[in-house]
């Protein structure tokens, strides 16, 4: 596949004292995609993101944004990117409009350019009617919308979002997802960190699972799930002595990747459930196995995460690996 590379991170390391926050990370982000960095807190996502947006200097390795090095050409990089920080980086005493005006000056827009763009952005994030109230009167969702408008003000080629929906209610979350999809539709490249599996699954074209400062796996959500070996059909049989014969019958059939005996039946990994399920039922019928229970599971991103990190994302990082 021949796609333009927007971001190239090459053997990136960042060390604090003796702790390796990011350890030999390499990946590429294609132009026009939504790329996710998924991992638990302290995994190194934010460090990686901060390096890409020129706020951190790598201990070794490089990051280039549209061909520009984040250290040597930091100023050039800053003109290409927009950033939506993780904290509510809002000045409570300024109004929404004043936030955008301040950033307009920092991106060196003329008054007319700034006024025009601020009007468009306030409309986009539906803050027009609240634009002239101090931000301390805003709800969490409104602050997040303002955050995003601030990130979009420079009309960036690449937008960086750090945990964009952390702590938001469901409605606001869905709204933010809508914005992100719309930005992609407009041709923007989006890079986001998240520790929500459903967010990564729903939103990202490709994602990297990061843990302990290393990339554990990288690909599209679908690819990552398929790489686990496909969907699982679990059978519970009434007569346990029939299990071996059914296993022998099913092994090697098309659309079935593997068959494993369990205490009460079989776990069958299948490539395509449409083909596999009828075949399984037909074989069971033919051999006279009566099925007590049948369960069909499509692997979720949770399974991918557990397979690559050895634990669920909600579990805390083991002591030995956490930041000391």
Partner 1 sequence: MEHYWQEISALTMRWVRRLSREKFSMLFTLVQPMLFWLIFFGNLFQRAADTQVMQAPNYISFLAAGVVIMTVLNNGLAGGVDLLFDKENGFLERLMSTPIHRTSVILSRFIFVMAITSMQVLVILGVSYLFGVHPATGILGVATILLIGMMFGVGLTAISMAMAFSVKSHGDFFSVLGFLSLPMIFLSSALVPLNAMPGWMSFLAQFNPMTWAIDAVRPLILSGWTEALPHVGMVILVMLVFDALCLYGGAKAFRRAMG
- Which spans of this chain sit near partner 1 (rule: CB under 8 A)? 50, 53-57, 75, 78-79, 81, 83, 85-91, 93-94, 98, 101-103, 105-108, 134, 150, 154
Q: For residue 52, which phi and psi values (nearest 5 degrees)?
A: -65, -30
Q: CB 83 → partner 1: shortest distance, Å? A: 4
Query: Which of residues 33 and 163 has its CB atom nearest to partner 1 in the complex?
Result: 163
Distance, CA of 78 to chain centre: 23
Q: CB 151 → partner 1: shortest distance, Å? A: 9
Query: Which of residues 132 and 292 has its CB atom nearest to partner 1 in the complex?
Result: 132
Q: CB 19 → partner 1: shortest distance, Å? A: 16
Q: CB 7 → partner 1: shortest distance, Å? A: 15
Integer-rounded Cα radius of gyration of the chain: 24
CA distances in angstroms from 299 to 124, 132, 152, 256, 306, listed in the order given:
36, 48, 35, 15, 11
Q: CB 15 → partner 1: shortest distance, Å? A: 13
Q: CB 148 → partner 1: shortest distance, Å? A: 12
Query: Which of residues 153 and 183 has its CB atom nearest to partner 1 in the complex?
Result: 153
Please write down the HEC assignment for all residues of the chain.
Answer: CCCCEEEEEEEEEEEECCEEEEEEEEEEEECCCEEEEECCCCCCHHHHHHHHCCCCCCCEEEEEECCEECCCCHHHHHHHEEEECCCCCCCCCCEHHHHHHHHHHHCCCCHHHHHHHHHHHHHHCCCHHHCCCEHHHCCHHHHHHHHHHHHHCCCCCEEEEECCCCCCCHHHHHHHHHHHHHHHHCCCEEEEEECCHHHHHHHCCEEEEEECCEEEEEECHHHHHHHCCCEEEEEEECCHHHHHHHHHHHCCCCCEEEEEECCCEEEEEECCHHHHHHHHHHHHHHCCCCEEEEEEECCCHHHHHHHHHCCCCCCCCCHHHCCC
Q: CB 75 → partner 1: shortest distance, Å? A: 5
Query: Which of residues 38 and 103 has its CB atom nearest to partner 1 in the complex?
Result: 103
Nearest alpha-carbon partner for 250 in 284, 273, 275: 284
Query: Which of residues 121 and 224 has its CB atom nearest to partner 1 in the complex?
Result: 121
Query: Which of residues 51 and 217 has its CB atom nearest to partner 1 in the complex?
Result: 51
Query: Which of residues 160 and 196 has its CB atom nearest to partner 1 in the complex?
Result: 160
Q: CB 133 → partner 1: shortest distance, Å? A: 11
Which residues face 70 on adjacent strands?
none
Query: Which of residues 94 and 279 has its CB atom nearest to partner 1 in the complex?
Result: 94
Q: CB 85 → partner 1: shortest distance, Å? A: 4
């Amino acid at each position: 596949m021949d796609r333009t590379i927007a971001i190239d991170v090459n053997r990136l390391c960042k060390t604090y004292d003796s702790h390796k926050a990011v350890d030999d990370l390499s990946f590429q982000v294609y132009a026009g995609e939504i790329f996710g960095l998924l991992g638990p807190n302290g995994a190194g996502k934010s460090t990686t993101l901060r390096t890409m947006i020129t706020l951190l200097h790598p201990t070794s390795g490089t990051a280039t944004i549209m061909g520009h090095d984040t250290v040597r050409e930091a100023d050039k990089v800053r003109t290409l990117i927009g950033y939506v920080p993780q904290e509510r980086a809002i000045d409570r005493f300024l109004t929404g409009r004043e936030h955008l005006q301040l950033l307009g000056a920092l991106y060196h827009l003329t008054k007319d350019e700034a006024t025009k763009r601020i009007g468009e952005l306030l409309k986009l994030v539906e803050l027009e009617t609240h634009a002239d109230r101090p931000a301390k009167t805003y709800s969490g969702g409104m602050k997040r919308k303002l955050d995003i408008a601030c990130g979009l003000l420079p009309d960036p080629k690449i937008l960086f979002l750090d945990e964009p929906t952390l702590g938001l209610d469901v409605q606001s979350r869905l709204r933010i997802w809508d914005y992100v999809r719309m930005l992609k539709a407009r041709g923007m490249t989006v890079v986001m960190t998240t520790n929500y599996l459903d967010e990564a699954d729903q939103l990202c074209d490709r994602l990297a699972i990061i843990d302990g400062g290393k990339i554990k796996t990288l690909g599209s959500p679908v690819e990552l799930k398929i790489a686990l070996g496909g969907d699982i059909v679990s059978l519970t049989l009434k007569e346990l002595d029939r299990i071996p014969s059914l296993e022998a019958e099913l092994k090697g059939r098309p659309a079935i990747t593997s068959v494993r005996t369990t205490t009460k039946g079989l776990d069958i990994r299948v490539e395509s459930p449409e083909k596999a399920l009828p075949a399984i039922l037909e074989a069971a019928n033919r051999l006279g196995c009566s099925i007590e229970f049948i369960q069909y599971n499509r692997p979720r991103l949770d399974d991918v995460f557990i397979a690559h990190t050895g634990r669920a994302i909600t579990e805390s990082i083991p002591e030995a690996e956490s930041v000391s």
